[in-house]
Structure 1
Amino acid sequence: MAKGHVLVLPMPCQGHVVPLMELSHRLVDHGFEVTFINTDVDHALVLAALPEGVEALRGIHLASIPDGLADDEDRKDLNKLVDAYPRHMPAYLEALIGDMEAAGRRRVKWLIADFNMGWSFEVAKKLGIRCASFWPASAACLAIMLNIPKLIQDGVLNDKGWPDREETLQLAPGMPPLHTSLLPWNSAGAPDGQHIIFQLVCRNNKFNDHAEMTVCNSFHEAEAGAFKLFPNILPIGPLFADQRSVGSFLPEDTSCLKWLDAWPDGSVVYVAFGSMAIFDSRQFQELAEGLQLTGRPFLWVVRPDFTAGLSKEWLEEFQKHVAGTGMIVSWCSQQQVLAHRSVACFVSHCGWNSTMEVVRNGVPVVCWPYFCDQFLDRSYVTDVWRTGLAVSTGEDGVVTKEEVRCKVESVVGDAEFRNRARWLKDNAWRCIGEGGSSHENFTRFVDLLSE
């Protein structure tokens, strides 16, 4: 018999759906009834991408509510997205819960919500539902957000969230250094919408007081400094789903796994930039030619919306040139790719899911952050763990093909990067194994949800 009915609510972005879907699978394994709530738009994408239909979710119920945006509005515009959903989604969430109970579903006992959906805790409190909070990024990122009042008091930030001082922050020993020009809320989109992101962060810090526990997709050895600073943030990761569906918005091309089988161990460069990054045509071409210059086999994920203005003929010609050594797919199972023996390094945007996946598999990284917390994750890789290098842009803001070749060769050619990546991998597996710190924290979480 199920232990209780739990609602799981991610922020409506691919990088937030994935870890909460991974967590949902684990909760189902522990006997909970889980209803996973996407927005209507994301719900349709997930259904269309499921390889075996809803059976691939193995007991997770799917539900959806509107996000408050019109059908033709850009959902990659974070400013627009986070402005809409606190105003529209609370009423829809409350109505959905009422409809489920009216239809005879078990009463909802717990809401596990993305920290970034803090408004939902007030809905839950109103309905007598207990709350737990899930933080999908690094604990260091949350630590910076929770330190906003002190940063303002110390004169580092003004009350609008903009830096008053140009300096590099390091909140505690062992935490990643971050320049004040790259704070997560200041790197999320157009500057004229920055106040929307900053206000959301400040509100969520207060909403989180309703949560009885805050867990995150990390592990102690990866972020010891952050967990010492905020011991109430409990790491339960790295999370993974054992090849079960994690709510991809695009169908996964599985042919690349057989393609990888044909290559020697540690030979393939894997390249992917997540679900949000967009390159202009020049940067796309520089990356493409840089991969070709390495002379190494590469697997490159190119979403349909990854670049604008690129000549279709140019791309077709490029694919002909690299047909023997390069494979381009629109989406893939990244967890399976990074676990493959043939992968030598990962050219990555450094989203936190990707960062945890690469850590769990002991793969070195060429860091190429795009926005938000990805600059902080880069700092972990390059400055704290020392498991990779970052690309540098020229004066025109472009990463050249020579820079791509140089950084790939430097990371793949230095055994120390792989040795440190393997050390971190071993620590990650110890944490999630029986008796490890993440395992113990997850047990505490399950016990709380079972009350």
Structure 2
Amino acid sequence: MAAAVTSKRPHVLAVPLPAQGHVKPLMSLCRHIAKHGIKVTFVNAQSIHDKLVSASPQDDSDSNIVMTTVPDGLTPEDDPNNPFTLFETLPKSMPQTLKDLIERINSSDPNERVTCVLADLSFSWIFDVAEKTGAEPVGFSPPSAACLAMLFHNFKLFEQGDLDSNGSVKNGDVISLSDDIPSWRKDELSWSGHVHGDSKAGKLFFELVQGYKDATKAKWWLCNTCYELEPAAAELLPNAFPIGPLNLLNSNNSTSTNFYSEDSSCLSWLDTKPFGTVVYVSFGSSAFFSQQQLDELALGLELSGRPFLWVVRPDLAIGSPIVYPDGFLERVSGVGKIVEWAPQNRVLSHPSTACFLSHCGWNSTMEGTSSGVPFLCWSYFSDQYHNERYICDVWENGLKIEVDEEGTRSRHEIKKKINMVFSDNKFKENAVKLKELCGKSIGEGGSSYKNLEKFIGHLRR
């Protein structure tokens, strides 16, 4: 009697950059991959894993996904509370710990060896680990295709002497890749918006960009965008496969991948508000504000007289607890709702949500755009400035909230722009068109759908 043949199963090991905006879209992709019967091992640094478990303690419902960790690599001198510390420590410690992990997996079950390492392109040094363990390297890019194209263009600028060793632009004030892609001002590059003047943070971002030099070791760059939103940028990247918006892949999945616990009470609150009336305000996981700016925002929302849902993280104020203007909470108790974190996809798709006052991180940009919600843009740092240009200048589904001479967004400017986005129907009309475009792209037969099918077929080869 012939022995039973045990079939080998594709196995993807996924490694995100240790940041909310990178972990979340990669997990959306991995859940989609796992639906096709492919095993996925999702690897987080220990501290990131702890945040996810603390915020959402339920187990992932998909048995094809295994969550595991590697050490943070922190030394006694490192600041564990600095969100950028892991960008420094992991490139030093992770190559060996990741190699050890893959070798343990491979030896434990020869039929489920790691066949593909799917890593954030910012950490493309991981591709060396993939090659050493016999796995195929595949890149994942959470930001826009334009941002990715610009990151590669920077190497050319560096070679030409237009960038110095710190990433500062030496020649000219504007950088353009194409007439069909919004340009970048020299202070809008991914690393130039130093967080609160923190030059060390800017240097870390610039060092991350240098890691993209190894990206060419991967033949696949999976991008959280769709071709129809960024055709000119996608054409500049022959290795890029737009597969987004990834939030549409798992829109019904209740399992969270957030660093903060979601307050779902805001959904029942939204149920009590009329159709298309609520201003949703959220600045993601990395923005911080002075007390003065928080006061202006609070008073601007109040002056607008419109219902608002405002996400206020406990650490949103720089170096201090959250304090609201005198009497503010009492005055807005009937029209405003404040939560520490919200189930954003569900909020944006709620019929009562009228517009999204956002920092324009790419995940939020994709989530709002694919939900057909107009934007009020309040960029904070990194690629957010360029995402704002897409929204205001190319897609025309939103307005920018301008800063005054002192660098503050005043309550009167906030009220003015809220009223403008409500009073001009073109923003909603354009937003609805973009929603339809995104839905078709990720739907059966669309460009992102075809790219995902192609990649999954490649994994099974």
> What range is the shorter-chain TM-score in?
over 0.9
Q: 1:141 aligns with which of 110, 134, 147?
A: 147
- The alignment status of 1:209 with 2:216, answered yes or no, reads yes
Do the aligned partners of residues 312 and 303 (structure 1) sit closer, same or farther apart at CA in structure 2, a change above 3 Å counting? closer
Q: 1:224 aligns with which of 213, 220, 231?
A: 231
Do the aligned partners of residues 366 and 312 (structure 1) sit closer, same or farther apart at CA in structure 2, a change above 3 Å counting? closer
User: Counterparts of 1:334 and 1:236 in 2: how far apart (Å)?
Assistant: 20
Identity over aligned pairs, percent:
40
Q: Is the contact between residue 300 and residue 411 of structure 2 (CA under 8 Å) also seen in structure 1?
A: yes
- Tell me the CA shift for residue 311 of structure 1: 6.3
Q: 1:350 aligns with which of 360, 363, 367?
A: 360
- Tell me the CA shift for residue 328 of structure 1: 0.5
User: Counterparts of 1:104 and 1:206 in 2: how far apart (Å)?
Assistant: 33
- Tell me the CA shift for residue 90 of structure 1: 1.2
Equivalence for 1:124: 130
User: Counterparts of 1:2 and 1:304 in 2: how far apart (Å)?
Assistant: 47
Q: Is the contact between residue 173 and residue 185 of structure 2 (CA under 8 Å) also seen in structure 1?
A: yes
User: Counterparts of 2:140 and 2:365 in 1: how far apart (Å)?
Assistant: 17
Alignment of structure 1 residues 10-21 onto 2, 5 Å: 10-21=16-27
- Tell me the CA shift for residue 205 of structure 1: 2.4
User: Counterparts of 2:73 and 2:119 in 1: how far apart (Å)?
Assistant: 18
Q: Is the contact between residue 21 and residue 246 of structure 1 (CA under 8 Å) also seen in structure 2?
A: no
Q: TM-score, normalised by structure 1?
A: 0.94
Alignment of structure 1 residues 202-281 onto 2, 5 Å: 202=210, 204-240=211-247, 241-244=250-253, 245-281=255-291
Q: Choose 339-348 or 91-100, whichever is displaced more.
A: 91-100
- The alignment status of 1:446 with 2:456, answered yes or no, reads yes
Equivalence for 2:186: 180
1:379-414: CA deviation from partner (whole Å, max 9, x where unpaired) = 111111111111111222111111111111111221
Do the aligned partners of residues 302 and 381 (structure 1) sit closer, same or farther apart at CA in structure 2, a change above 3 Å counting? same
Q: Is the contact between residue 291 and residue 405 of structure 1 (CA under 8 Å) also seen in structure 2?
A: yes
Do the aligned partners of residues 321 and 226 (structure 1) sit closer, same or farther apart at CA in structure 2, a change above 3 Å counting? same
User: Counterparts of 2:239 and 2:318 in 1: how far apart (Å)?
Assistant: 43
Q: Is the contact between residue 314 and residue 322 of structure 2 (CA under 8 Å) also seen in structure 1?
A: no
Q: TM-score, normalised by structure 2?
A: 0.92
Q: Is the contact between residue 17 and residue 246 of structure 1 (CA under 8 Å) also seen in structure 2?
A: no
User: Counterparts of 1:254 and 1:59 in 2: how far apart (Å)?
Assistant: 27
Gaps of 5+ in 1: none
Equivalence for 1:199: 207
Equivalence for 1:366: 376
Alignment of structure 1 residues 161-176 onto 2, 5 Å: 161-176=167-182
User: Counterparts of 2:36 and 2:417 in 1: how far apart (Å)?
Assistant: 43
- Tell me the CA shift for residue 74 of structure 1: 4.8
- Tell me the CA shift for residue 109 of structure 1: 1.0
Q: Choose 256-265 or 150-159, whichever is displaced more.
A: 150-159
Q: 2:30 aligns with which of 24, 27, 34?
A: 24
1:141-182: CA deviation from partner (whole Å, max 9, x where unpaired) = 010111113323555423442111342222113212221111
User: Counterparts of 2:75 and 2:297 in 1: how far apart (Å)?
Assistant: 34
User: Counterparts of 1:178 and 1:261 in 2: how far apart (Å)?
Assistant: 40
User: Counterparts of 2:169 and 2:10 in 1: how far apart (Å)?
Assistant: 45
Q: Is the contact between residue 281 and residue 309 of structure 1 (CA under 8 Å) also seen in structure 2?
A: no
Do the aligned partners of residues 224 and 345 (structure 1) sit closer, same or farther apart at CA in structure 2, a change above 3 Å counting? same
Equivalence for 1:63: 68
Q: Choose 129-138 or 86-95, whichever is displaced more.
A: 86-95
Q: Is the contact between residue 6 and residue 112 of structure 1 (CA under 8 Å) also seen in structure 2?
A: yes
Equivalence for 2:432: 422
Do the aligned partners of residues 191 and 448 (structure 1) sit closer, same or farther apart at CA in structure 2, a change above 3 Å counting? same
Q: How many residues align?
A: 448
Q: Is the contact between residue 166 and residue 181 of structure 1 (CA under 8 Å) also seen in structure 2?
A: no
User: Counterparts of 2:298 and 2:413 in 1: how far apart (Å)?
Assistant: 12
Alignment of structure 1 residues 44-63 onto 2, 5 Å: 44-50=50-56, 53-56=58-61, 59-63=64-68
User: Counterparts of 2:97 and 2:326 in 1: how far apart (Å)?
Assistant: 45
Q: Is the contact between residue 75 and residue 81 of structure 1 (CA under 8 Å) also seen in structure 2?
A: no
Q: 2:443 aligns with which of 430, 433, 439?
A: 433
Do the aligned partners of residues 306 and 139 (structure 1) sit closer, same or farther apart at CA in structure 2, a change above 3 Å counting? same
What secondary structure is seen at the aligned counterpart in 2 of 1:41? helix
- Tell me the CA shift for residue 247 of structure 1: 1.2
What secondary structure is seen at the aligned counterpart in 2 of 1:279? coil
Q: Is the contact between residue 2 and residue 31 of structure 1 (CA under 8 Å) also seen in structure 2?
A: no
Do the aligned partners of residues 211 and 153 (structure 1) sit closer, same or farther apart at CA in structure 2, a change above 3 Å counting? closer
- Tell me the CA shift for residue 195 of structure 1: 3.8
Q: Choose 167-176 or 440-449, whichever is displaced more.
A: 167-176
Alignment of structure 1 residues 399-410 onto 2, 5 Å: 399-410=409-420
